[in-house]
């Protein structure tokens, strides 16, 4: 039985696009299984973004969001491969539980938007 997952990678921003694609191909090859011959359903490159806090001394990361379908027991091998790769600063695998389709990210948008930048009209304070 397969399940749907979503995977976010943060690559070192010094890597070039071909190097990142090579890594993605290598990781995704691990997911193929008889039940899901085409495991990857969507790949979206967010591109370089400023991290909200530094990871391994880096302030900028290259984000890639991948949706895939795979058997749960293949995830261990995938995560092991990702952890061994020095070029990946951070990753996150979560079950895709009927999430709305990923919003179209404006690339290079200011990541750390100031708190309550857009709508703070009715949220605080009037309960006091």
Q: Which residues bind another protein (CB under 8 A)?
A: 8, 10, 51-53, 55, 61, 63, 65, 90, 92, 94, 97-100, 102-103, 105, 111-120, 122-125, 127
- DSSP β-ladder status, 40-55 and 58-70: antiparallel
Backbone torsions φ then ψ of 117, nearest 5 degrees: -70, -40
| Shortest distance, position 13 Cβ to another protein, whole Å | 12
How far CA 43 is from CA of 58, 68, 88, 114, 121, in Å, comes to: 24, 9, 16, 29, 36
| Shortest distance, position 35 Cβ to another protein, whole Å | 26
Nearer to another protein, 58 or 71 (CB): 58
Nearer to another protein, 18 or 56 (CB): 56
| Shortest distance, position 26 Cβ to another protein, whole Å | 21
Identify the CA nearest to 64 among candidates 35, 105, 101. 105
Nearer to another protein, 33 or 55 (CB): 55
| Shortest distance, position 117 Cβ to another protein, whole Å | 7
Rounded to the nearest angstrom, the gap between the alpha carbon of residue 118 and the centroid of all alpha carbons in its chain is 25
Backbone torsions φ then ψ of 66, nearest 5 degrees: -125, 135
Nearer to another protein, 5 or 36 (CB): 5
């Amino acid at each position: 039985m397969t399940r749907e997952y979503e995977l976010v990678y943060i690559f070192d921003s010094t890597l070039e696009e071909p190097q990142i694609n090579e890594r993605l191909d290598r990781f995704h090859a691990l997911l193929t299984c008889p039940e899901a011959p085409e495991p990857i359903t969507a790949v979206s490159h967010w591109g370089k973004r400023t991290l909200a806090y530094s990871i391994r001394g880096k302030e900028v990361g290259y984000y890639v969001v991948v949706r895939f379908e795979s058997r749960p027991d293949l995830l261990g091998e995938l995560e092991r491969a990702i952890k061994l790769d020095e070029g990946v600063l951070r990753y996150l695998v979560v079950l895709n539980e009927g999430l709305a389709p990923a919003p179209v990210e404006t690339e290079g948008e200011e990541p750390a938007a100031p708190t309550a930048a857009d709508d703070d009209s009715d949220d605080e304070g009037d309960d006091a």
